[in-house]
Structures are given as structure tokens and as C-alpha cells.
Amino acid sequence: MRKPLDTQIEFWRNKRVIVTGGAGFLGSFVVEKLQNCQTAEIIVPRSAHYDLTHIQAIRALLADTSIAGQPVDMVIHLAANVGGIGANRERPAEFFYNNLMMGTQLLHESWRTGIAKFVAVGTVCAYPKFAPIPFKEEDLWNGYPEETNAPYGLAKKMMLVQSQTYREQYGYNSIFLLPVNLYGPRDNFDLETSHVIPALIRKCLEAKEQGADHIVAWGDGSPTREFLYAEDAAEGILLAAERYNDSLPVNLGSSYEISIKELLEMIARLVGFNGRIIWDTSKPNGQPRRKLDTNRAQSFFDFESKTAFSIGLRSTIHWYKNDRGGLRSE
């Protein structure tokens, strides 16, 4: 965990912050960075106590965290109902409804109760299926998202509309960030709900341990993806929370693009799996390419990813070998 700057500590020292999803994958890194910045109070609501799909629970959370009628200073909204292609195909209605209800109601109630700033974290899945490469924020509305994750992407994208309209009508300070595919230690390695990197790491390791002569992967391996190390993403979110005060959407990425075929071959090599890779082309590929333009993040709040992909991937594999657990976002 990188040491915070003195200016960061000065900014956060007196802040009280709610981090939804703070017990999950990305959220755990955000919370650690807030702790390192000596944040006055970090509140991580758990879904067992506050089901954020219900407005009564949101109101209860904001009331319970107020002191003498004063609300917290900021909400960083990371909570999401997420999953890979398989989970998105099986539960599209859940992914749409739950994410829409959490985001729009929480932002509205944060404005209504006088919370000074709202940080909405969206998803690269909001981009059109065939957006020009690299994805630029101004292309967000130039087409429909890739079908397998469109309900999730569109639900999250509504926070952008809400952020912009609430700023226009009410002068409310909310921001909207678009992280690319994340990876790193503490990710969710459940094959039913995980994203591509943890799923492939687990498949390769289990195949090696069981002496299997092959593994089966979805699609044909041709799609490309950009990946951002979770600790870097957390740093970008906090930089934006400190320095950015506008409702233009901002990408968070690494500018490193790799095909799924190359990714799987790299993981197999790193874990020592020497068997065959069989591509099941009856399964969907997902979006053909994902690569972000990251100029806004660098220009608006001086964010650049720090972790080389090869180093981050090794770190993720090492963590999984020694943990065999994984965290789910709340």
C-alpha cells in the first residue's frame, strides 16, 4: 500500500465518509487507503443491516451516521451486484434493478440530507458495444452496450444522468467515474460469478493440481480487455474524491490492452499449467474490444496507474494460492 501524500492526509483528516461496498474487493482497498490517510471516520454499511435496494434502509443508514443532525461529509458508492458474462446472462433483471435502486436512491437521499459530495463509481460496461477505440467519455451515448452486460451497465450509467441533472438543477456536487475491468488480490474467485482473470487463474491452478490435460475457455479468445489493478483504482477514486468537482464522466484505466487468448496463455505459464486450451465457441465472447482513453483522469486529478500488468498478475496469483478465498462486493 503506497504511502499517502501530506496533502491527502490534510484533506481526509477531518472527514467522515460512508463507503458502500467497503467490505468487498475494490472497497477493501479504498478503505485501507482512507485509513492510511487518517480519515476521521470510515463507515462501511453491511448488506445484512442496510439493504441499499430499499429506500427505508438508505434513510436509516444516513440517519444512523449523522451526528447532532450533521450528516457525513461524503459517500463513496462502490456497492454493486456484479458478475461475469455467465452471471449477467442468468440474472439480467436482478443486475438491472438492484444496481439502479442502490445508485439512484442513495444519490437522491445524499443530496436530500445535505451530504456535501457523492462519488458514484460506474462501469466500463456502460460503453456502447462498438465504441471507437480507445473509449472516450464523449462516446458513452453513441450506441447500445454489449448485450450480455447491458442491464448492469445501463443501471450504473443512470447515476451519470442523475449526477449531471442534480448538479444542473440543485448545484449538487457529485462525480461519476468509469473504471475499466479490475483485478488483484482479494478478488472473487467463485467460477459462477467471477470475472475473467480470477476465473482463469482458478481454472488453470485446479487443472494443474488435478493433473488435467486440458481446460475449456469461453469464446474464441479474440476479444481484448484493459485491466486496472484494484489498488491503483482505489487511488484514482480517492484522488477524484479530493480534487475533482464536476459531473463530466471520467475513465479510470491503465492503457494496457491484451487479448483473452494472450491473457490465458500468460496465466497458464505463470501457474505452470502445460495442458491444452480448448475454446468453446458456443459461448459468447462479450464485447470485442475494451481500451480506455485516460487523458481526463490525468488532466483533471493527476491519476495514472502505477502497477505493471505482469507484476499485478503475479501478485493476484500469489494471493489466491495462499488464500483460496476471495471477497464478493456488497
Per-residue pLDDT band for 329 (boundaries 50, 70, 90) equals very low
Tell whether the torsion through CA atoms of 164, 76, 189 and 308 is positive or negative: positive
Q: What is the pLDDT of residue 84?
A: 75
Our answer to whether residue 152 is catalytic in this structure is yes
* pLDDT tens-digit series, residues 284-299: 888 889 999 999 999 9
Q: What is the pLDDT of residue 193?
A: 79
Instruction: Name the helix (H) or strand (E) containing 34.
Output: helix 25-36
CB 35 within 8 A of CB 43: no
Q: What is the mean pLDDT of the chain?
A: 94
In whole angstroms, what is the distance from residue 3 CA to residue 303 CA? 15
Residue 166 above 70 pLDDT?
yes
Residue 168 above 60 pLDDT?
yes
Q: What is the pLDDT of residue 88?
A: 80
* pLDDT tens-digit series, residues 193-240: 788 999 999 999 999 999 999 999 999 999 999 999 999 999 999 999
Domain ranges of the chain: 6-186+226-257+289-307
In whole angstroms, what is the distance from residue 106 CA to residue 67 CA? 19
Q: What is the CATH code of the structural domain delimited by 6-186+226-257+289-307?
A: 3.40.50.720
CB 137 within 8 A of CB 251: yes
In whole angstroms, what is the distance from residue 102 CA to residue 80 CA? 8
How many CB atoms within 10 Å of residue 266?
15
- Among 50, 127, 144, 152, the active-site one is 152
* pLDDT tens-digit series, residues 78-102: 999 887 777 888 999 999 999 999 9
